[in-house]
Chains A and B, each alone.
Chain A
């Protein structure tokens, strides 16, 4: 007896006890996700449709994203931090980065680069910067032989501490031979930022795709926000990969639906199977990228912490100096848990020091740089001060006070650069 469940495209099989049961068709449920169609043929056809849809979506994207010629002949030009001058503001080149430390008296920073490029050949200027303050007002400046006495400018968007590429192809001032480019920044620069280089790009189709691929494959290292969000590559992405894949799936499905609606008798592909195959394939693409990122992270973690005991690991961590200080402080304290108050301005140091002190009975305000009043302390309590202003100690009188409050008797037990340990008496 032939197996009535076998697909017509498959050879008929006997329904006998000798053969293994047909696992893919053994239950109605098993019917759902894959088995209804002649799977391999359908899957291959579906993947071709998906690939075609991806191509169409990318073409559509490029139609918007390529600012000028799709296939330019000019090579990209790049200038490093050493090619930059800084007529205004303060800073220096450190590790091949121009580290900007402050503004001039007028609150301005100006960075300049001498160039020699034809404006029409280069549609985009990209500054490679990091840690740029979000509230900084940044302008891109240039000068050309088209109007030698005039300096043109256009605003630059700051996002996630980075400078977004400046698209100049359609700017009326981007003409002639560009003899110099620069950045002007104004604002209260409370943090240092660094510029490693600047590039002029023709931004043709391949260049744009290369940039997007670079964003997707950028190494997303663990950081303080990793536990909350996985961006999927670069912090800022013009075309997130999940969106591209989802759009491609949507286009592919629309095409399949239209095909089957108007040509129902020809080459019908089971739509459920097609969806499942496309979804799993796109998921796999995203997961391959994620796996690659994870592999790089594991390598980085092993390089930093591999083959170390837990103390050595902390000595290799970002807060090694604090950890070392706390270890020395703990050596001064009794073995049995004692009350200790932590004073430090940054939340990170306050909380981190507290963590290293347990199982001592630690008090550290989690979200405020505040210390309790002296009256709430008692003899035998301890206080650790690390990078905090407003704490004064008079060694002669043995008095400690903070934030202008009442002094308490205390003994200095340990002192390091920027930190001290006191025993309240």
Chain B
């Protein structure tokens, strides 16, 4: 029992460490007080903490210090106390930290809503809590199950935990040449972050247990949905809409499967990619250096989780270009994508191997398998129906300033997936359903957010017989909207239909 308590405390420490790090980042404003600020800081803090802890393991290994509970937790605990103390000191001056937390708890209880809205809020929240309770039960009961998890991911975790340091995994020829100093598995060239996460939990637990070592993946998923809620609130979705959007992401069956059968890198990659993109957009809006650091940190996790993460992380660039240059940006990105496609087509003439994929210009898509994956099987509930419908309905809104950055990411992701799944040896894995959904999972959370944003933009264009909503002439930089009740009674509400 003590070992399980140790594991839970260790994971909470990582979470607290991440929050403390985020709070310590330079900021001109209090990031807790903006809409969704508290939940974003808590969620993104959990994600950042876990990733930073894996970086700390790399530092320990480089320094020749053996992994141990003390070597891992003591510095993190001291850093958390120092950074957290500083944060409390700062917020004490501003007197807002506790108020922000109280406000977030109030929002969590749904007391800011009324009537049906409050009922829906509580039902959705209960549904989410039930889902994560079920996933917790599964992830803490079933030993490591899916194939790649024990052929190429946990192999590294086991070796590094038992040896107390990171040792190289090499391909077969290099393994033979190494004479015992290197290790071998089915994916020796794969990044080690998943293994390092398992090293962390094994150290907290004090032993190897290929069931409980996967608890951090559940924790990461919880942190992610909390962050997503905060991000949607910061994007000016109402609390209920933001919770509904969070639920759409948190209920994707394939994503749930990757939590329950944890041990693959695909879902962590999807979560860090989505949070990284949202952090980028947040930074573009706030221009806070702290938000930039967080965005870089979250996106840096992508290539360290899985090789395709290199491409996914790069997709932040088109998003930022479009955000920075709302007029010329879309054209620049479109040209960039066209050049990339042309370059791939040229490269395909020579059948190169890129990131392990054999690229060749031999298009023969298995449309039936693709339809099964996206539309007929329950991998995604109705995500791709919704995506197609929203893309058609909101086609005139796709390049509007608030939508275009995410559109750039989604289009880039679709081009990338289309190339991988239709023009490389990976298309064989479409037919047998072995990779198509996992590859798509990487961008699924971003697609949900994009779908919500496009739908909202389209909904705003609809004619209505009802009075139009008030549109503030200019929004504060951090996206804090003043409540209507704070307007002076004599101020005529703007843009009110007669």
Contacts and interface: CB of A to CB of B under 8 A. Distances in A.
B253 A290 contact: yes
Contact of A5 (B130, B260, B455, B467): B467
In the A-B complex, list the 6 residue pairs whose CB atoms are closest, starting with the nearest. Answer: A232-B378, A29-B236, A21-B483, A32-B456, A272-B459, A30-B238
Nearest to B495: A28
Given A26-B483, A298-B138, A359-B162, 15 more contacts: A7-B466, A15-B487, A16-B489, A23-B113, A27-B238, A30-B237, A30-B241, A34-B240, A232-B378, A294-B138, A297-B138, A351-B150, A351-B151, A358-B159, A362-B183
Interface in B138-181: 138, 141-143, 145-151, 154-155, 158-159, 161-163, 172, 175-176, 180
Interface in B396-438: 433-435, 437-438
Contact of A33 (B127, B162, B459, B489): B459
B241 to A, nearest CB: 4
Interface of B: 112-117, 127, 130-131, 134-135, 137-138, 141-143, 145-151, 154-155, 158-159, 161-163, 172, 175-176, 180, 183-186, 208-212, 235-241, 244, 248, 251, 253-254, 256-258, 260-261, 264, 373, 375-379, 381-382, 385-386, 389, 433-435, 437-438, 452, 455-460, 462, 464-467, 469-472, 481, 483-487, 489, 493, 496
Nearest to A323: B143
22 contacts: A5-B493, A17-B486, A25-B484, A26-B238, A29-B236, A32-B456, A33-B244, A33-B455, A33-B459, A36-B459, A227-B264, A229-B373, A230-B378, A287-B381, A290-B378, A291-B134, A305-B142, A309-B209, A354-B185, A355-B154, A367-B186, A372-B176
Given A33-B237, A227-B438, A272-B462, A352 B381 contact: no
Contacts of A21: 483-486
B184 A242 contact: no
A338 to B, nearest CB: 8
A22 B116 CA distance: 14
A317 B141 CA distance: 12
A230 B211 contact: no
B151 A291 contact: no
A302 to B, nearest CB: 6
Contact of B385 (A25, A246, A310, A365): A246
Which of B137, B141, B253 counts the most A-chain CB atoms under 10 A from its CB? B253
Interface in A353-401: 354-355, 358-359, 361-363, 365-367, 372, 376
A185 interface: no
Range class of the A interface residue count? 35 or more
A245 B469 CA distance: 32
A299 to B, nearest CB: 10
Contacts of B261: 222, 226-227
B116 A40 contact: yes
A280 B383 CA distance: 11
Contacts of A275: 389, 455
Contacts of A272: 455, 458-459, 462
A289 B143 CA distance: 25
A161 to B, nearest CB: 14
A47 to B, nearest CB: 13
Given A305-B143, A310-B143, A230 B379 contact: yes
Contacts of A286: 378, 381-382
Contacts of B151: 351, 354-355, 366
A298 B472 CA distance: 49
Contacts of A270: 462, 464, 466
Contact of A314 (B143, B386, B455): B143
B13 to A, nearest CB: 23
B256 to A, nearest CB: 7
Nearest to A348: B147
Contacts of B385: 242, 246, 249
A36 B464 contact: yes
B143 A231 contact: no
A227 B489 contact: no
A32 B455 CA distance: 8
Contacts of B438: 227-228
